[in-house]
Amino acid sequence: MTAPFPPTIAEAAAGLAAGDLTAAGLTELCLARIEALDGLVNAYHKVLKDEALASAAASDARRAAGKDVGPLDGIPLAVKDVIQVENHACTANSRVLQDNIADTDAGVIACLRAAGAVILGIVDTYEFAFGGRPTHDALFPPACNPWDVTRSTGGSSSGCGAAVAAGLCLGAVGSDAGGSIRSPAALCGTAGIKPTIGRVPTSGVVPLTFSLDTVGPLAQTAEDCALMLQAMAGYDPTDQLSADMPVPDYANALTDRLDGLTVGIARGFYRDDYDTPADIAGTYDVMGKVFEGLGAKVIDTDLPPLMDFHAVGRLILPSEAYAIHEETLQTRWTEFGPLARNRMMLGALVRSSDYLQAQRRRRELAHAVDAVFEDCDALVAPAMLTPAGPMDSDEAFPFLAAPMINVPFNLTDHPAVSVRCGFQDSGMPVGAQIVARRWKEAGALRVAHAYEQAAGWRDARAAVG
């Protein structure tokens, strides 16, 4: 019999504080579920069993001595395989980096260890966080969606979404340059937040871009993401984009009501700009009623066309990825999987003048979104426009099909939380983005948490296995 689904981080933290749970017990629970279920979902590249159990024992000893270091002390977490964990391979799921042993923890992992978190293992990613869809030609087999293992998790933080949704950890650390946290969160029915660039250190993370990379948490709920982000955020002098500014108390900012707030709905993104399936679009249409019930004023917002964001992202992302990986692409061409290679090589075709024009248009789009926040406190947008794709797709350029619904807020650098907002007719989850002003992660998490509490969708769990 499979071990029971683990509690949320908030529930586990309360249980640990009350003495009803132990870090060792939580870790053993996750390890048992990994043993039973990971053969179905392929979330983990490497399970750090002995290290995790030792960390859990140390956490229990601290707590017994009255020296626990906060709500994450003893919480088992997974780490995307682009983020360094000391003494272990950080492969980015590529043969190019299969022998890349990290000599130190990434900045964000050091922060989490300082908060007492237990690192369970290293989980799947699309190759170099840029493959475009699940691929069977990378270093490790692709993670599957726990709600239907014949379907994709979304990416590129595929293992994070799969591990959280399947209950193989309590939370996971992902990265996001074009939707890579929010896409798997939406398709796998979890929560996840892309913070403002500079809020969370990116030192020790395999880079994808120069100007878009972020690191953030995925977990069962927005409240859990708030608890993780509290430990992950902060200034890192070794990270040139890191912001030296105070970190708010994210958990204390959460409320059950939204009285006095205005919430904008980006209806054009899914009604006018794309032929979104009815069972996905319909879940977004009814979200406004929930916000009104929470005391918020709800308005429709006017954003630039989604394809404008898509076009800009399609120039900037591959251009910067190619610039970072150009030398390796030239010298170790055959070690790349074709999807990652094809996607990066598109960047070689972008003229410098086109890249500069894209950056100019990016600033214009950012100003347009800033203007929306003159009339609202939070913005609701889709986190997905299409169902999770099949695992056996052989499409050569899948990333050129539907517009990238999550990339707008990478380009504009607004924090965005993905929350579950319903289910498709097939039973697969649907996710929405809650977006706030730059540096106002606390506001986005507050709105997301209140919505989750009122809507009730967050309590369902994938029945994998």
Rg (CA), the chain: 20
Q: Which carries the bigger pLDDT value, residue 248 or residue 399? A: 248
Note whether 80 and 175 are within 8 A (CB). Answer: yes
Pairwise CA distance, residues 94 & 231, whole Å: 29
Answer yes or no: is 260 within a domain. yes
Print the domain residue range for 354.
9-453
Reported as half-sphere exposure (CB side, CA atoms, 13 A), residue 141 has a value of 11
Reported as a pLDDT band with limits 50, 70 and 90, residue 464 is confident
pLDDT tens-digit profile of 144-168? 999 999 999 999 999 999 999 999 9
* Residue in 94, 175, 180, 242 annotated catalytic: 180
353 is catalytic: no
Where residue 222 sits, what CATH number does that domain have?
Answer: 3.90.1300.10
Residue 2 has pLDDT above 90, yes or no: no
pTM reported for the whole predicted model: 0.97
pLDDT digits (tens, 9 = 90+) for 107-142: 999 999 999 999 999 999 999 999 766 667 789 999
Q: Is residue 390 domain-resident? A: yes
What burial letters (b/e) apply to 34-65, b meaning 16+ CB within 10 Å?
bebbbeebbbbbbbbeebbbebbbbbbebbee
147 belongs to a structural domain: yes
Q: Catalytic one among 156, 158, 175, 183?
A: 156
In a domain, 460, yes or no: no
Residue 80 among the catalytic residues: yes
**Cβ atoms within 10 A of the Cβ of 307, count?**
13
Q: What is the arithmetic mean of pLDDT over 276-303?
A: 98
Catalytic residue among 55, 80, 183, 440: 80
Flag whether 25 is in a domain.
yes
The answer as to whether 459 is a domain residue is: no
Provide the residue type at 234 as one letter. Answer: G
pLDDT at 351: 98
Quote the pLDDT of residue 252. Answer: 98
pLDDT of residue 432: 99
Of 200, 164, 211, residue with least CA distance to 83:
200
Number of domain units in the chain: 1
Judge whether 95 lies within some domain: yes
CB atoms within 10 A of CB 348: 12
| Catalytic status, residue 156 | yes
For the cut 80, the answer to whether the pLDDT of residue 393 exceeds it is no
- Please check whether residue 81 lies inside any domain of the structure: yes
- Contact (Cβ atoms closer than 8 angstroms) between residue 176 and residue 409: no
